[in-house]
Amino acid sequence: MQKREIGRSGIYVSPLAFGGNVFGWTADEKTSFELLDAFVDSGFELVDTADVYSRWVPGNKGGESEVIMGNWLKKSSKRDKIIIATKVGKPMGDEKKGLSKAYITRAVEDSLKRLQTDYIDLYQSHEDDKDTPLLETLETFDNLIKQGKIRAIGASNYSAERLREALKVSTDNGLAAYQSLQPEYNLYEREGYEKEFEQLCIEKGLGVITFYSL
């Protein structure tokens, strides 16, 4: 199967991702394990989740999706078969949110523990945090890459203006840059991506991992 590079990250994936928001929501652990096995055994590898999944389910606190993935990784021993993408920034309760150095540093450790792995392939800003300077956020991500805790970074729910600004901050300061964008894009919702982001992604060589694709 032909693979595509996520931006210029050096990470290559098949052109189909599995959305992990269903783990701990519409799919219990047993079903999630079966889905992950079938996905990987079919030759795919990119599984996209977030620390906040599936906090919206009554009784859940967030982190359920990552926990299920971690349990599957422990049982299956297939860490080398998948590319893990997860996210940080959405509210997790008790003022746990945002993209400050303090919060990202704490959140990545929590995600690593839940996922039962020592590194995350693609760590994404789940939403923009205008209360934190972009430089602070990107310096923090850069340090995590140098520490080997993450391999590359991506952005989700950014405006084109802020994404362009973030890329410039990385370039100007010699920091790791966002290698991917996660926008909503499907046959019905096309205009937002095509008008606002498509040319920017082509210009900057960003990988695009869409949500609500089906």
Query: Which residues are designated catalytic?
Result: 53
Place of tokens 């991500």: 141
Q: Give the rounded distance of the alpha carbon of 37 from its chain centre.
A: 20
* Interstrand relation of 46-48 and 83-88 (parallel, antiparallel or unpaired): parallel
Cα–Cα–Cα angle for 140, 182, 43, rounded to 5 degrees: 105
Among the listed residues 94, 89, 129, 95, the one whose alpha carbon sits nearest the alpha carbon of residue 111: 89
Report d(CA 82, CA 105) in Å as an integer. Answer: 24
* Torsion region of 198: left, alpha or beta (phi above 0 gives left; psi -120 to 50 gives alpha): alpha
Among the listed residues 68, 58, 59, the one whose alpha carbon sits nearest the alpha carbon of residue 21: 68
Report d(CA 75, CA 78) in Å as an integer. Answer: 8
- In one-letter notation, the amino acid at residue 91 is P
